[in-house]
Structure 1
Amino acid sequence: MQNRVGRGLLVLSAVLALLMAGPVTTASAETIQTGTSVCSMYVNSIGFGAYCSNGSAYIPTGNSTPPPTWRERLGGKPFIPCRDFDIPDGIRLPKAPEGKKWVMRITITDYNLDTYDGGDNAHLERAYVPVGPVEEAQCPFPNYMEPFWHQFRSSYPPPALVVMPTFTPRVNVPAFFSLTADSSKVEADPKKDPGKYSGYIDPTHNLTMRGLVVEMTIDPGDGTKPFKCAMGVTPEDDPDGYDETQDPFHQINTCKHTYKRSSANQPDDMYTVKLTITWEVSYWVGKGQGGWQPIGQANVTAVQRLPVQEAQAIGG
């Protein structure tokens, strides 16, 4: 197998429209401890991310000095365990009561100020609550509390559909579908920039989050039934899974569809292909002895306009 020369010509992102699903809920992993942080993670149809209780990374200086306790970091000021965040993208809530707005309130509970990480029992609780001035005053956020909080997020990239072996499928010739590697994987990795992410204290304590497309359902738009394609990580030298040494009728890839009629009688002479892309988000802590731990899955839908021609020739 080999990479196709001029691969960019096969990426139909110019006519690919991303459509977010309707009301969705947040699927969260249990709160985890990573170095000096307690983190709560989420995944939805927009993307994924984490809210962590201990702000920016603490990176050791090499002199074996232990990290400061939370009480030492406060310097005599009161610890305020809650913080209000904007509602994450993808969450749909009813209209807030008059004079109030929805916020996501995250509270650090069961913490021990005399530890560097809040203690073994520390965890985060989240709630979507309507707040007005009175409720906001119950959860202030002074500047000195900033180091105790951090969040990072990553959204899914726009899907870029690849069709093989030709830019325009031919009638009675199998058309093979895949997503580009760049649009089927996204990773938020604190090791790449430890000052930007929370939960990094040494090479054994860090939090990495990853989203992978694990399934894609394709409605080809010609009146036939939708079909599912298993997805996963592909080799860098063969990201589309298409063997150009073989003809379209002798491929291992099963993510394919054979159009029996051209799209000449369709709007704009193109079929409307509907995609349902299933993302699975996982996290990795420390050296990852336990491997990637799944958090949950979310679906994103998209549509593709695809011309299909009568010509039987394979070249394109």
Structure 2
Amino acid sequence: MQNRVGRGLLVLSAVLALLMAGPVTTASAETIQTGTSVCSMYVNSIGFGAYCSNGPAYVPNSHIVPPPPPPPTWRERLGGKPFIPCRDFDIPGGIRLPKAPDGKKWVMRITITDYKLDTYDGGDAAHLERAYVPVSPEEEAQCPFPDYMAPFWHEFRSSYPPPALVVMPTFTPRVNVPAFFSLTAESSKVEADPNKDPGAYSGYINPTHNLSMRGLVVEMTVDPGDGTKPFRCPMGVTPADDPSGYDETQDPFHQINTCKHTYLRSSANQPDGMYTVKLTITWEVSYWVGKDAGGWDPIGKANVTAVQRLPVQEVEAIGG
């Protein structure tokens, strides 16, 4: 459908300003259990990730006679050492907190609760609790992290890619001709194939228990900068190989894509001769467990705001 000529593509990482708008909160899924892991996930306007308390991979093999023994219990893995149920992490990017009290610093403290040491995965009731707390050196020492506790924890995270805006049918919109807006596929999705690359954004457990996460842009609100009202554009509704949804075999007045705006005046009188376009990009983050889990389950959404300078010419002829 779409001609792949680069004249309609503007990679915004060079000219786009990513802006944080106000305090950022996190949207978290309920703690889930997968294989030998208990995991807690988060999403915010910086990115997404997960913290897991996990056991070793256990891959039974029916071709081995006798079959391998079940994985050891948490108590057996400790070998007589004390189990330390809490661990302090840095505050995830995007979380804004007030200044910590004197002599203290903010940490994200995650605690494994309702666990049973005589199970290989902490038991069915095991879950993770998250808290942002200011700690003194003495309070920080309450949650030490010795080397032998490392196998019980796994962390992964990802940030969103720089937005790359596509403006069609030309890089510079024309007065009285619809301009169509979209994002490239590469800048509107963060996803690893859990069957091919399980470690990229995931906690790999075994072939049937593999927590993976992905982020997709599901909506973009465009303020065109000419004094008209912002408009919303649903995203992810066009084929992956044609994310702009623009049919170059048709003229701009006969397109299916509804993410469009018609400028009635040129940008000649604007600062630097360009309109300031404001974008609000909505990411939805989901998780996937195992090969036969039935698809992705959403966790929550987060907005990323950006601005783009866009020239509009007083030329009605469509050209490249």
| Structure-2-length-normalised TM-score | 0.93
In 1, are the aligned partners of 2:191 and 2:201 still within 8 Å (CA)? no
SS at 2:254's partner residue?
coil
- Give 2:318's aligned residue: 314
- Give 2:22's aligned residue: 22
In 1, are the aligned partners of 2:8 and 2:169 still within 8 Å (CA)? no
In 2, are the aligned partners of 1:174 and 1:258 still within 8 Å (CA)? yes
In 2, are the aligned partners of 1:34 and 1:206 still within 8 Å (CA)? yes
In 1, are the aligned partners of 2:91 and 2:107 still within 8 Å (CA)? yes
Q: Distance in 2 between matches of 1:188 and 1:100?
A: 38
Q: CA deviation at 1:234?
A: 3.0
Aligned length: 314
Q: Distance in 2 between matches of 1:210 and 1:77?
A: 37
Runs (5+) with no aligned partner, structure 1: none
Task: Give the direction of change, closer, same or farther, for the CA distance of 1:259–1:195 in structure 2 (3 Å limit).
Answer: closer
In 1, are the aligned partners of 2:30 and 2:40 still within 8 Å (CA)? yes
- Give 1:53's aligned residue: 53
Residue 142 of structure 2 corresponds to residue 138 of structure 1: yes
Within 5 A, what are the aligned runs for 1:103-182? 103-182=107-186
In 1, are the aligned partners of 2:59 and 2:207 still within 8 Å (CA)? no
Q: CA deviation at 1:20?
A: 2.2
Within 5 A, what are the aligned runs for 1:193-204? 193-194=197-198, 199-204=203-208
Q: What amino acid does structure 2 have at the position aligned with 1:109?
A: T
Q: What amino acid does structure 1 have at the position aligned with 2:46?
A: I
Q: Distance in 1 between matches of 2:33 and 2:53?
A: 10
Q: CA deviation at 1:30?
A: 0.2
SS at 2:186's partner residue?
helix
Within 5 A, what are the aligned runs for 1:1-316? 1-2=1-2, 4-7=3-6, 10-13=9-12, 14-54=14-54, 58=57, 60=59, 62=61, 63=64, 64-65=67-68, 66-188=70-192, 191-194=195-198, 199-232=203-236, 234-316=238-320
Q: CA deviation at 1:288?
A: 4.6
Root mean square deviation of aligned Cα: 1.8
Q: What amino acid does structure 2 have at the position aligned with 1:49?
A: G
Task: Give the direction of change, closer, same or farther, for the CA distance of 1:295–1:105 in structure 2 (3 Å limit).
Answer: same
Q: CA deviation at 1:9?
A: 5.5
Q: Percent identity?
A: 86
Q: CA deviation at 1:71?
A: 1.4
Q: Distance in 1 between matches of 2:148 and 2:72?
A: 15
Q: CA deviation at 1:238?
A: 1.6
In 2, are the aligned partners of 1:157 and 1:183 still within 8 Å (CA)? yes
Runs (5+) with no aligned partner, structure 2: none
Q: CA deviation at 1:311?
A: 0.9
